[in-house]
């Protein structure tokens, strides 16, 4: 906060000085005072100042890169993450190399070719070789970089082997709900028609029958509301908007019952497809566990708006979109404890926040290590977007098996 106030004060001083100089310029114009010509020494001083500014600018940039490196993420905690890190390093090396060369030349030319009385610049209208060089070289570099990136993406998104574990995350404002495949390692069918007490819409036969009952109860309530509102309107009450809402809800619930009956008919033909969800495990809290060294497929759905599933430490991100399923596969290679030890060895730190009883921040202390694995929403999805997170614990296989065995199945 203090830094913001200082920056704001500096900005105000700058604005005030510009206004004063502008006022002086206007007054001089009214008085008919001619502007003094800029001397050769002033021109040379400005050119030297530009060069000095360039050196200071580069020095501060390098200082920031070195000084803030400790706050960057530790090396990846997933097998494929090493490829992502390499791709990132190659890209940054290319970008910074071009940046230092082009900006260095810019500052040097500003100093070398400052205005000198009697010296005329050389007229250089066109050169085909230069045009070809600065077109072909960047295009070649970009083609190689894009090809490398697409190859890396293909290796990650199209794994050769089947996953050991299937997990689904269902997003909504503002939470994630996890669903683990049961003993059959198959996630059962799911549908938005079953949302209600069924948090992720798992479509088993019993769930469909239960949801039809819930919809019928809701319809009875809305019918009663509709009758009451119609009487009020007849008596002159302005309730047209509320009646429209009730009629819309009635229409939606009746359509949902039709949808669910169709699903029951489909279940009669393909029961195994829906019975696969009976042993699924739904986790409603914000902590989940996954086993180290196992290949895991994460699948995503959204109940409302577009969200984005972001796993920074695993180097993975994919959108969670209403009406469709997205997925990616990865293998965690370190437990939380191992990852924290690695982060300490790499010199990484995070800001540990200390709060009082009212949740006000008292202090933030640089702490060696990492905050641990986390799933964040990386798409601004509403007011509480910042609070949409799940903590992930990567544990040894035995500990995971014990934990998952203690969870209740869907039915």
Domain ranges within the chain, ordered by starting residue: 163-188+281-411, 189-275
Whether 320 contacts 200, CB under 8 Å: no
Long-range pairs for 100-109 at CB < 8 Å and ≥24 separation?
Answer: 100/58, 103/54, 103/57, 103/58, 104/54, 104/58, 106/54, 107/50, 107/51, 107/53, 107/54, 107/55, 107/57, 108/51, 108/54
**128-167 residue pLDDT tens:** 888 898 899 989 989 998 998 888 888 888 878 888 899 9
Q: Residue 372 pLDDT more than 70?
A: yes
User: ∠ CA 111-116-121 to the nearest 5 degrees?
Assistant: 85
Instruction: Assign 33 a pLDDT band (cuts: 50, 70, 90).
Output: low
Q: Which CATH architecture has domain 163-188+281-411?
A: Sandwich (2.60)
Mean per-residue pLDDT, 65-70: 90
Q: Check residue 139 and report its DSSP letter.
A: H
Q: Residue 385 pLDDT more than 90?
A: no
Q: Residue 310 pLDDT more than 80?
A: yes
> Highest-confidence range of 5-9, 359-363, 370-374, by mean pLDDT?
370-374
Q: Residue 31 pLDDT more than 80?
A: no
Q: In this predicted structure, which of 63-72, 168-177, 219-228 has the lowest mean pLDDT?
A: 219-228
Tokens, residue 55 = 């050196």
Enter the pTM of the model: 0.77
């Amino acid at each position: 906060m203090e830094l913001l106030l200082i920056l704001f004060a500096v900005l105000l001083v700058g604005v005030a000085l510009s206004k004063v100089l502008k006022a002086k310029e206007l007054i001089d114009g009214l008085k008919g005072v001619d502007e003094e010509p800029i001397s050769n020494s002033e021109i040379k001083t400005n050119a030297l100042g530009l060069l000095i500014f360039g050196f200071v600018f580069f020095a501060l940039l390098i200082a920031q890169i070195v000084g803030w490196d400790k706050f960057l993420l530790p090396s990846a905690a997933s097998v494929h993450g090493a490829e992502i890190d390499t791709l990132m390093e190659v890209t940054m090396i290319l970008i910074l190399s071009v940046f230092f060369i082009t900006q260095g030349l810019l500052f040097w030319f500003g100093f070398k070719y400052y205005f000198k009385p009697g010296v005329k610049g050389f007229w250089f209208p066109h050169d085909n070789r230069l045009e070809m060089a600065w077109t072909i070289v960047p295009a070649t570099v970009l083609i190689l970089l894009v090809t490398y990136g697409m190859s890396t993406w293909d290796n990650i998104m199209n794994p050769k082997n089947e996953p050991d574990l299937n997990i689904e995350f269902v997003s909504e404002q503002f939470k994630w709900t996890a669903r683990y495949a049961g003993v059959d390692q198959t996630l059962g069918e799911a549908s938005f028609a079953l949302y209600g007490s069924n948090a992720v819409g798992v479509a088993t036969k019993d769930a469909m029958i239960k949801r039809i009952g819930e919809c019928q109860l809701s319809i009875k309530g809305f019918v009663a509301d509709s009758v009451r509102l119609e009487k009020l309107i007849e008596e002159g009450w302005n309730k047209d908007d509320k009646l429209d809402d009730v009629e819309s809800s009635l229409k939606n619930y009746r359509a949902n019952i039709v949808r669910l009956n169709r699903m029951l008919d489909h279940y009669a033909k393909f029961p195994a497809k829906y019975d696969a969800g009976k042993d699924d495990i739904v986790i409603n809290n914000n902590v989940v566990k996954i086993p180290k060294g196992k290949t895991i497929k994460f699948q995503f759905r959204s109940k409302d708006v577009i969200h984005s599933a972001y796993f920074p430490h695993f180097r993975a991100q994919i959108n969670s979109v209403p009406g469709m399923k997205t997925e990616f596969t990865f293998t965690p290679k370190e437990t939380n404890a191992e990852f924290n030890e690695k982060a300490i060895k790499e010199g990484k730190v995070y800001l540990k926040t200390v709060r009082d009883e009212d949740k006000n921040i008292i202090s933030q202390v640089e702490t060696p290590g990492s905050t641990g694995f986390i799933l964040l929403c990386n798409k601004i999805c509403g007011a509480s977007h910042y609070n949409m997170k799940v903590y992930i614990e990567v544990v040894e296989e035995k500990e995971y098996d014990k934990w998952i065995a203690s969870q209740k199945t869907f039915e």
